[in-house]
Amino acid sequence: MIPRNKKQLLDWLENNLPSAALRKTFMHGKVELLGAFKPVPNSSNPGWIVRATSPMTGKEWYIVVAFHIDTGKLHSYMTEEKLINPDNYCGGKTLLYKGDYGGKLRGTV
């Protein structure tokens, strides 16, 4: 399944979080789509990176949604910010691909 928009991606992720500990943060914290990356960290596959920030502690979780080209399936796992290579950002015209900040790891607020 390839998500068609940000909502579909986040809905899939909500049901496939890589850790039960993330559920509360994902449901009540700030969730930001960083955009499409090729490849995503620790993989040769393309996919998306989502950042979820805990409202209680401010801890940031980086969640990868990898699209496995050979199987056509999505897989989620956690990564660290230092493993995210900005040069692998793909971008695109839609929010699903360009992300909330257009390829920047931090929004300018």
User: What integer pLDDT is reported at residue 1 of this predicted model?
Assistant: 77
Q: What is the pLDDT of residues 38-51, one digit of tens each?
A: 999 999 999 999 99
Q: How confident is the model at residue 18 (pLDDT cuts 50, 70, 90)?
A: very high
> Which residue ranges make up each domain of the chain?
6-82
Stated pTM of the model: 0.92
Task: For residues 83-90, give the mean pLDDT.
Answer: 94
Q: Band of the pLDDT at 106, cuts 50, 70, 90?
A: low
Query: Judging by beta carbons within 10 Å of its beta carbon (0-12, 13-18, 19+), is residue 95 exposed, middle or buried?
Result: middle
